[in-house]
Chains A and B, each alone.
Chain A
Amino acid sequence: MAKIAFITPDGESVVVNNAEGNLMEIATYNEVEGIDASCGGVCSCGTCHVRVNPNWIDRLGDKTEAEIDMLDFQPGADERSRLCCQIEIGSNHDGLILEVDPL
């Protein structure tokens, strides 16, 4: 379990104290503004786009082909971008901060 925070497009922060499991599911469960996750996590919609601090990128696991492809075409995506449906959160993620991309 980890304490993590989402910063929504309008600058609010949503703190999740005991985050564990799929990051998209954590975000939708906590009703994080800006995470639509329309496709339910199969990597076809891009509406679960977040940015992470570069120091964290390596600790979030590798991107799959499908995610790289999706992000390649995501407006405003950069090297800090991830699709949160493709990330699993565990205790080593304590302190992670995610900036939510506007829809």
Chain B
Amino acid sequence: MSGCPYDPFKEHRKKGVLNAKLDGDEIPMILRHKDLKLRAKDWETYSSDAPFRVPIPAEEDVRTVRQLPLEVDPPEHTEYRAIAEPFFRKPLQADFIQKIENLIEELLYAIGNNEAIEIVSQFSLPLQSRALTYLLGVPESEADELISWGTHVFRTGDGKQKGAQMEAYINAWLDKAEENPGDDFYSALTQAQYRGRHLTREEMAGYCNIMFAGGRDTVINSVSFIMGYFAQHPDRLDQVRENPSFIKTATEEFVRYVSPVTHIGRVCPVETEVHGHKVKEGQRITLGFASANHDETVFDSPEEVRIDRKPNPHVGFGFGIHNCLGAHHARLIMRTLIKKLCERVETLEWVDAKENLEVEEDYTRTVSYESLTLKVQTKSLDAH
């Protein structure tokens, strides 16, 4: 046993691959950093052109549209991605950054009266949902609907029913945008041009689907982890206060250590072999981001969180052409959270937690918290 609950792959990494029982199938998981990068780059052998089958377990039961630009290969991928890219760069703008700062302050003060509070549902989920309304460019009140879907749209509760509810919600917004375009994400999609034509409704819905599904539990888990971490290590927060350049390095380190996306699949259009495992035509492999991020040949003491780790060539946001479009947004949320914890919080006290476990036949991996109870005491406003 490796001991690190975020890295159950240590022993398997020696062999390079884990033939993992996942989704009723045997799927070779690529475990080493360099191996993963090579394969993430080689889309001709390890293709993303496979609707519903890039995430594992496959999602044909919980959605009806191909997620864009996740589930396509070049050359189409390049063009699909370029359509969405400008929207995902909004978090680099000053007014957007300011809004996130205000939001996090508001949420911290709302829970900052030193009473025991459940962080995942009362802080991380509203933070993620409200921040997403800024990215989408829709009224903040839309967050109520998003919050009601829970941490993982497809995996908490009845995924099928919620997947359908989410698609209906997306379609209603797209209808509205077609009739009466504004400057929101949906309207941009209705006006976008792909190879000299408009996007189909299915394509538009495919972009929206990943916005809600992909950017959700990942952000929520990262935020909850950061809260729990600094509650357990108040001295580290003091270190960040003394050296604000740690805000960025700590953010990257949290993404590396937590690796909110444990792995994500590819489909092999032709028969191939990974570390002696034959992969038949049409079968899947999976890119083990979490394992690669704990590869001891790349990261010193990978089982330790080092808030000043540098260099830190993690692959937590993926690698290559499909690397995370939401990374600007996610980084902004995490960096701002750490900054505001430094500025606005007097004490963070650990009360209780239940870990969020990914339980598979071959491994169990901790990914942040299912619930986390803390007492948060914010600084008095006029002391500032």
Using CB atoms and an 8 Å cutoff, list the residues of chain A in contact with chain B: 36, 38-45, 64-67, 69-70, 72-73, 86
Which residues of A sit under 8 angstroms from B316, Cβ to Cβ?
44
* B 231-265 to A, binary, CB cutoff 8 A, 1 in contact else 0: 00000000000000000110110000000000000
Task: Find out whether the CB atom of B311 lies under 8 angstroms from the CB atom of A73.
Answer: no
With both beta carbons as reference points, the residue of chain A lying nearest to B328 in the complex is identified as: A38
Which residues of A sit under 8 angstroms from B41, Cβ to Cβ?
73
Task: Find out whether the CB atom of B312 lies under 8 angstroms from the CB atom of A42.
Answer: yes
Which residues of B sit under 8 angstroms from A45, Cβ to Cβ?
317, 327
User: Is B310 interfacial (CB 8 A cutoff)?
Assistant: yes
A25 to B6, CA, bound (A): 32
Task: Find out whether the CB atom of A43 lies under 8 angstroms from the CB atom of B313.
Answer: yes
> Looking at B251, B298, B311, B312, which has the most chain A CB atoms within 10 Å of its CB?
B311
B73 to chain A, nearest CB (A): 15
Task: Find out whether the CB atom of A69 lies under 8 angstroms from the CB atom of B313.
Answer: yes
Show 10 A/B contacts (Cβ-Cβ < 8 Å), sorted by A: A36-B92, A40-B251, A42-B310, A42-B311, A44-B315, A66-B313, A69-B34, A69-B313, A73-B37, A86-B311
Chain B count of residues within 8 A CB distance of the other chain: 23
Using CB atoms and an 8 Å cutoff, list the residues of chain B in contact with chain A: 34, 37, 41, 92, 248-249, 251-252, 298, 309-317, 319-320, 327-328, 331
Task: Find out whether the CB atom of A70 lies under 8 angstroms from the CB atom of B313.
Answer: yes
Task: Find out whether the CB atom of B311 lies under 8 angstroms from the CB atom of A67.
Answer: yes
A41 to B311, CA, bound (A): 8
A80 to B318, CA, bound (A): 25
Majority DSSP secondary structure for residues of A touching B = loop
Which residues of B sit under 8 angstroms from A69, Cβ to Cβ?
34, 37, 313
> Looking at B309, B310, B331, which has the most chain A CB atoms within 10 Å of its CB?
B310
A80 to B72, CA, bound (A): 32
> Looking at A40, A65, A66, which has the most chain B CB atoms within 10 Å of its CB?
A40
Which residues of A sit under 8 angstroms from B310, Cβ to Cβ?
41-43
Task: Find out whether the CB atom of B320 lies under 8 angstroms from the CB atom of A40.
Answer: no
A98 to B332, CA, bound (A): 28
B215 to chain A, nearest CB (A): 16
A43 to B313, CA, bound (A): 5
With both beta carbons as reference points, the residue of chain A lying nearest to B310 in the complex is identified as: A42
A-B pairs with lowest CB-CB distance, top 3: A40-B248, A43-B311, A42-B312
B369 to chain A, nearest CB (A): 24
Which residues of A sit under 8 angstroms from B313, Cβ to Cβ?
42-44, 66, 69-70
Task: Find out whether the CB atom of B249 lies under 8 angstroms from the CB atom of A40.
Answer: yes
Task: Find out whether the CB atom of B248 lies under 8 angstroms from the CB atom of A73.
Answer: no
Which residues of B sit under 8 angstroms from A72, Cβ to Cβ?
37
B337 to chain A, nearest CB (A): 15
With both beta carbons as reference points, the residue of chain B lying nearest to A36 in the complex is identified as: B92
B236 to chain A, nearest CB (A): 17
Which residues of B sit under 8 angstroms from A65, Cβ to Cβ?
298
A65 to B33, CA, bound (A): 13
Task: Find out whether the CB atom of B37 lies under 8 angstroms from the CB atom of A43.
Answer: no
Which residues of A sit under 8 angstroms from B320, Cβ to Cβ?
73
A25 to B36, CA, bound (A): 29
Task: Find out whether the CB atom of A44 lies under 8 angstroms from the CB atom of B314.
Answer: yes
20 additional A-B residue pairs with CB within 8 Å, beyond A43-B311, A44-B314, A44-B315: A38-B327, A38-B331, A39-B331, A40-B248, A40-B251, A42-B252, A42-B309, A42-B313, A43-B310, A43-B313, A44-B252, A44-B312, A44-B316, A44-B317, A66-B311, A66-B313, A70-B313, A72-B37, A73-B320, A86-B311
